[in-house]
Amino acid sequence: MKKLLCLNIVLLIAGFVLTDKPAFGQDNGKALFKQNSCQGCHTINEGRMVGPDLAGISQKRSRSWLIDFIQSPQTMIQNGDSIAVSLYEEYNKVMMPENDLSPSQIDAILQYIKNTSNKTTAATAQQKSKKKTTFTAANFKAGKILFTGKIRFFNKGPSCISCHTISTQQNFTGGNIAKDLANSYKKLGENGVKAILKNPSFPVMKAAYQNNPLLETEIHNLTAYLKQASTATPPQQQATLSITSKLIIAGVAGMGLLLFLFTKIWRKRKHHSVNEDIYKRQLKTS
């Protein structure tokens, strides 16, 4: 019995020593990086996206600063931390969500970022940045139908319109629970929009799609629609332009009418210093 127990212990130790799997901390960091949707806004040595590239972040910022910022970026911005504020301004004022990660969990994520940084190269980022996506009219149409919920997502996730609206669209009434997405494409770019749709980082959106992920084709079509929406003129501005045009036309027409009336009156103006008829009548009665 003792020999069998010793043999099991030896085999167990050998399994840990000979295994090709990375250490638990690295696996844990990778899982946390994905679970907390860090990859929805950040890359590791593949270029900026919604937020900055995280490659070498531990060399750029102190551990204590990273822990404070990751746990509560809003607090640091409100307290006027110069680095936090500059990042907020640089990345189109897109606020990073709050996190309840512990310092040890953040350490695991930072270790994963460090290990991954060593495996990737800047050339990968340059290659990705050169790739341009072509959107067709069919993509725009399909994206609008998905956004408005006229056709449900394949995995039965909630339609975008239930929480969001797009102010640049005519005859469009959406939810006011979340942000207006009219300028989302301008702020985030194609990669940013797709990343958030694929790995939502915002708590409500993350919960809504956690078990109902979007398909790649759905993400592509929604991105196309948001791109088109970002270049449209808001209905309010269109109405303002229409009213302005009408006022200009009415003003020109009114000016023309006044000039015509003045001309008619001017023709009947007096040709002498006084009214000649009155002057002659006065001479007869004198």
In a domain, 169, yes or no: yes
Residue pLDDT, tens place only, 98-115:
888 899 999 999 999 888
Same domain, 148 and 194: yes
Same domain, 225 and 143: yes
* Beta-bridge partners for 233: none
User: What span, in angstroms and rounded, lies between the C-alpha atoms of 229 and 186?
Assistant: 10
In a domain, 254, yes or no: no
In a domain, 188, yes or no: yes
Residue pLDDT, tens place only, 41-96:
888 888 777 788 888 888 888 999 999 999 898 899 999 999 988 888 888 777 88
In a domain, 166, yes or no: yes
User: What span, in angstroms and rounded, lies between the C-alpha atoms of 235 and 49?
Assistant: 30
User: What span, in angstroms and rounded, lies between the C-alpha atoms of 214 and 120?
Assistant: 27
Q: What pLDDT is attached to residue 39? A: 77
Of 231, 246, 276, the residue at which a domain comes to its end is 231
In a domain, 13, yes or no: no
- Of 228, 52, 77, nearest to 147 by C-alpha is 228
Same domain, 92 and 158: no
Q: Are 178 and 204 in contact (CB under 8 A)?
A: yes
In a domain, 269, yes or no: no
| Range(s) of the domain holding residue 81 | 25-116
In a domain, 154, yes or no: yes
Max intra-chain CA distance, the chain: 156
Same domain, 190 and 142: yes
The structural domain count of the chain equals 2
Same domain, 142 and 108: no
- CATH number of domain containing 149: 1.10.760.10
